[in-house]
Amino acid sequence: MFKNIKEAKQYIEENGIEFVDLKLIDLKGRFRHLSIPSERLNEKVMKDGIGFDASNYGYASVEKSDMVFYPDLSSAMIDPYALRPTLSMFGDVYVIKENDNVPFRQYPRNVIQDALDYMKKQGIADQMLVAPEYEFSVFDEISYDVQPGFVAYRLESEESELLAGQGGFDGYRNTSKGGYHIDRPRDRLTDLRDEICSLMKDAGIEVKYHHHEVGGSGQLEIEVELGDVAKLADDTMIAKYLIRNTAVENGLTATLMPKPIHGEAGNGMHVHMMLKKDGENIFYQKGNYANLSDTAMYFIGGLLKHISSLCAFCNPSTNSYKRLVPGFEAPVTIGYASANRSAVIRIPSYAKGEDSVRFELRNPDATCNPYLAFAAILMAGIDGIMNHIDPKDHNWGPFDFNLYQLNEEEKAKLEHLPASLEEAVEALKADHDYLTAGNVFPEELLNNWIRSVVGDAEEVNRIPHPAEFRLYYDL
């Protein structure tokens, strides 16, 4: 938004901005923030930064938690939810080393930039473009509780036959898995999506379109246009912020959890991608399979080779693996194909031209930290390019048929995604050299990440599940 502090101060004065809200990202990918009076955004802050305690962010121990935040003026936007006029912006995090401030290499925005710098140093490309698809669920109400003698959650959606409350019935409710592109009056959330997309546009996010998704209980999708991967990581954080807060402003609740409802379609965050060099799409080669170049196929090969360990970053929640099951258009097979949603990598058949040829990775979901997930995807692809990993040499496709309809013998010949977070973490422990190449992912970051997600899995595994009472109470 701003090129320099002079522009920012002028805008603040002319628009009556009272506060500047500084957005930081913790290890898991949640926003943290601190606010300063607008007059404190000045030349001194831009030169010296703002000190803060990061001991609760997941990166550092208490004795090494003093860090410095430098605002990124180009990322500034008006916060539409603040009561007082507030300008919100991202920034970069530094640590104090030998009386100097140096970039904190575990900070997510620094990691994605290091991955891009590594790609450029190898001479592979000078730009990575991505386009995430945001799938999410909107409910009228949610409640959950975890107590020693009481474990439960409850969801209500008035547009769903499955989750409707006890109120009046107008005759228009969606069946389970019957919501795809459904129109009014069954689609009760069109206006909400319009509002979210309008706010995304105001924030500089290019929306492609929005629609109701397959899930009949308020499952929605917003797609955005291809853009620079570092900006799209920021935009993903903004999109999630807008989705959640706009729902609350309308008396609703939104979640990007991969599988909030048993038996319904889950929420993914498919990631379309493309590499460019000197302005040219280096994934394009007319006449090849799906018009994809050898470079693109090697990139796919790298993704598929490392897909199990990638899941630890792209699907880092226990809930992720309740989505990655057959029968719900979620990918479970390691392979690629054109126009095939049952493979983990899909090549859109409608994207045939030089400016549009790309592919999408279908396993990621929005519980990921987008910076770390996008950086890991790029590093896997770079490894594939540098080592000429051809997916055809590994029985990874192309699979131009429905993988869900194979018999058990045929399925046994194929490789599959991890079935649990624990499996993904074990894969990451065994396969992470491609991430530490060029020192892009510091070992300390990998250790902190593993410790964090394993802690989640252990906590969930310790809690008795209601289904266990149904299955085992009388044994």
Catalytic residue among 79, 140, 159, 221: 221
The catalytic position among 105, 186, 341, 394 is 341
DSSP per-residue string spanning 90-144: -EEEEEEETTEEEE-TTSHHHHHHHHHHHHHHTTS-SEEEEEEEEEEEEESEEEE
Q: What is the pLDDT of residue 330?
A: 78
221 is catalytic: yes
Q: Above 80 in pLDDT, residue 341?
A: no
- What is d(CA 307, CA 255) in angstroms, rounded to the nearest whole number? 25
Higher pLDDT, 177 or 422: 422
Q: How many CB atoms lie within 10 A of CB 339?
A: 12
The more confident residue out of 341 and 261 is 261
State how far the Cα of 331 lies from the Cα of 130, in Å rounded to an integer: 19
pTM of the model: 0.96
Residue 54: what pLDDT?
Answer: 86
Number of CB atoms found within 10 A of residue 355's CB: 12
User: For this structure, is 270 an active site residue?
Assistant: yes
* pLDDT range class, residue 379, cuts 50, 70, 90: very high
Segment 63-79 mean pLDDT: 90
Structure tokens at 196: 């979210």
Catalytic, 244? Answer no
pLDDT confidence band for 168 (50 / 70 / 90): low
Yes or no: say if 112 and 375 are a contact pair by the CB < 8 Å rule.
yes
Q: What are phi and psi of 450, to 5 degrees?
A: -60, -45
Kindly tell me if the per-residue pLDDT of 16 is higher than 80: yes
Q: Catalytic annotation on 135?
A: yes
Active-site residue, selected from the candidate residues 79, 114, 135, 235: 135
Superfamily of domain 5-104: Glutamine synthetase, N-terminal domain (3.10.20.70)
Catalytic residue among 213, 234, 235, 383: 213
**How confident is the model at residue 165, as a pLDDT?**
67
Q: Which of 52-61, 74-83, 178-187 has the lowest mean pLDDT?
A: 52-61
Rounded mean pLDDT, 340-354: 84
* pLDDT of 411 strictly over 80: no
Mean pLDDT of 228-232: 98
Lowest mean pLDDT among 13-17, 263-267, 388-392, 408-412: 408-412
Query: Residue 52: which of 7, 124, 107, 5 has the closest Cα?
Result: 107
Q: Catalytic site residue 468?
A: no
**Predicted confidence band at 171 (pLDDT cuts at 50, 70, 90)?**
confident
| pLDDT at residue 63 in the model | 45
Give which of 284, 460, 277, 305 is closest to 392, Cα–Cα: 305
Q: Is 416 a catalytic residue?
A: no
pLDDT band at 399 (very low <50, low <70, confident <90, very high): confident
> What span, in angstroms and rounded, lies between the C-alpha atoms of 317 and 311?
10
Q: Do domains 5-104 and 106-126+278-475 have the same CATH topology?
A: no
For the residues 358-382, what does the mean pLDDT come to?
98
Catalytic position from the list 346, 358, 362, 416: 362
With 0-12 CB in 10 A as exposed, 13-18 as middle and 19+ as buried, what is 90?
buried
In whole angstroms, how large is the CA radius of gyration of the chain? Answer: 23
Known active-site residue 211: no
SS3 label, residue 4 = coil
Confidence band for 397, pLDDT divided at 50, 70 and 90? confident
- When pLDDT is cut at 50, 70 and 90, the band that residue 403 belongs to is low
Catalytic residue chosen out of the listed positions 39, 53, 117, 410: 53
| pLDDT at position 339 | 64
Looking at residues 205-209, what average pLDDT do you find?
A: 97
User: How far is Cα 391 from Cα 336, in angstroms, rounded to an integer?
Assistant: 8
Q: Return the domain boundaries, the chain.
A: 5-104, 106-126+278-475, 132-263
Mean pLDDT for the stretch of residues 265-280? 97
SS3 435: helix
For residues 13 and 87, the answer to whether their CB atoms sit within 8 Å is no
Q: Which of 270, 306, 346, 432 is catalytic?
A: 270
Give 349's pLDDT tier (boundaries 50, 70, 90).
confident
The confidence score (pLDDT) of residue 169 equals 67
pLDDT single digits (tens) 100-149? 889 999 999 999 999 999 999 999 999 999 999 999 999 999 999 999 99
> What was the pLDDT predicted at 167?
61
Indicate which residue of 79, 109, 114, 133 is catalytic. Answer: 133
How high is the pLDDT of residue 163?
Answer: 83
Q: At the fourth CATH level, which superfamily is domain 106-126+278-475?
A: Glutamine synthetase/guanido kinase, catalytic domain (3.30.590.10)
Task: Respond yes or no: is residue 156 known to be catalytic.
Answer: no
Q: Is 133 considered catalytic here?
A: yes
Catalytic residue among 360, 383, 416, 432: 360
- With 70 as the cut, is the pLDDT of residue 166 above it? no
The CATH code belonging to domain 132-263 is 3.30.590.10
pLDDT of residue 62: 45
Measured between alpha carbons, how far is 175 from 164 in angstroms, rounded to an integer? Answer: 11
Report, as an integer, the average pLDDT of 416-432: 97
Q: What average pLDDT does range 291-304 have in this prediction?
A: 97
Start-to-end CA distance of the chain, whole Å, equals 64
Beta strands in 170-297 (DSSP E): 207-212, 219-224, 227-228, 253-255, 271-277, 280-281
Q: Is the pLDDT of residue 97 over 50?
A: yes
